[in-house]
Structures are given as structure tokens and as C-alpha cells.
Structure 1
Amino acid sequence: MRALFQSLDLWDVMEEGIEEPENEVSDREIKEYAAKRKKDKKALFLIYQAVDETIFERISQSNSSKEAWDMLYNTYKGEDRIKIVGLQTLRCEFDGLKMKEGESIEEFYS
């Protein structure tokens, strides 16, 4: 997803977020804010399109793409560790796998 947002020039908005301008601002600052806000809503729309219904329910209350992205990141950041531990467990089971005496090949295979 990061590569997609970078290719669409939306990653900076997702990573940094946008800040509303203060009360007295110039026309240039207003235009810059409007452009960033448009990019933010575009990124938020793409996030909504990329996730399934259960994840959508979690992030649907997000007001910005940064908020939605942070929620997704915090939810799934430990996923790599979980995969590594699962693979280590399977390796240990595989290493300990031996056919017992009197066990048929069919029983061992199943």
C-alpha cells in the first residue's frame, strides 16, 4: 500500500497528516491547505477501497487518512512477529517428526 500511495504522491499526507491553518492566513496558504485536504480525502477513499468490511468498520470513523493509516498500522504491526513464531513452531514440529514403530505409512502420513 505504501508504494501505491507514494506513486500517487499521497504518502506525505498519510504520514504527516494535515494541519488546519490558523485564523489569519494568506490566499496561498488557503490554497495549499485545500490541495492537501483534497489529497487527504483521496488517500482516505483509497484506503476504504482497499480493506474488507471488518477492517472498514474499524476505520470508518476516521476523519483523515493519517488517522486511518495509524489505526491500520497499530493493528497489524505485530503480524510479522506472529508469522515468525508460527514458522518456528512448525519447524520444531517438523524436526521432531518421526515414524513410530508399528505405524503404517498411511497412519504416519495422516
Structure 2
Amino acid sequence: MTRADSLAREIFTDIANKRALLIIEAIGDRTLRFTALRDEVEGISHKMLTQNLRLLERNGLVERTVQPTVPPRVEYTLTEPGSALRATVASLCDWTHHYIADIETARRHFDEA
């Protein structure tokens, strides 16, 4: 395995989880504060949101900005690679919607066998 393959697998592991993808979708084209983002991503705990935002920031997909206020105001925005990933995820969602009936039929046949 090459270094590039190893790095690609590491990145994929970091971003290919439901929470990270939901965060990317929630931010979208906006800049969101932490609390607004937590409200947007249903069912995510403070701890899980923090962990996933750090992973996304580490991989250059999210930019974290701290405003010098009291208390500090923290905002998150997608970077260019983050926006590109969002477009890729949107394509995957479109594929799912297009083939949902086929997938449900295949599952039903498989489960009945």
C-alpha cells in the first residue's frame, strides 16, 4: 500500500461517518455558531459535535473562527474542500433517491430468501 492510499483511507475514516456528513450538510453555504450547529444536527451531543468538528477541521474541511468577545464566539464555515465534499455527498443522496425503490425491492427479496 502506498502512502497516498494509506492517507486516503485515514481521511475516509475521519469523514465517512454519519455525524461528520450531517455536520457538513448542516453548515452548507452558511457560517454557523456552535450552538446553532448543534441545533441543526438532530440528536448529536456536545461531545460528539466537538470531536467531529475537530476531525473536520484537522482535515481542512471546516474552518473554525473564534471572535474576540466575552464569552468567545466560535463560528464554523466549510472550506473549499469541504464544499466540494458536500457536493459529492449531495450526489450520493441523489443516487439514493433515484434508486430507493430498486434498493427496497432487492432488500425485500434478499430478506425473504
Report the TM-score, using the length of structure 1 for normalisation.
0.31
Report the TM-score, using the length of structure 2 for normalisation.
0.31
Question: Which has more radius of gyration?
Answer: 1
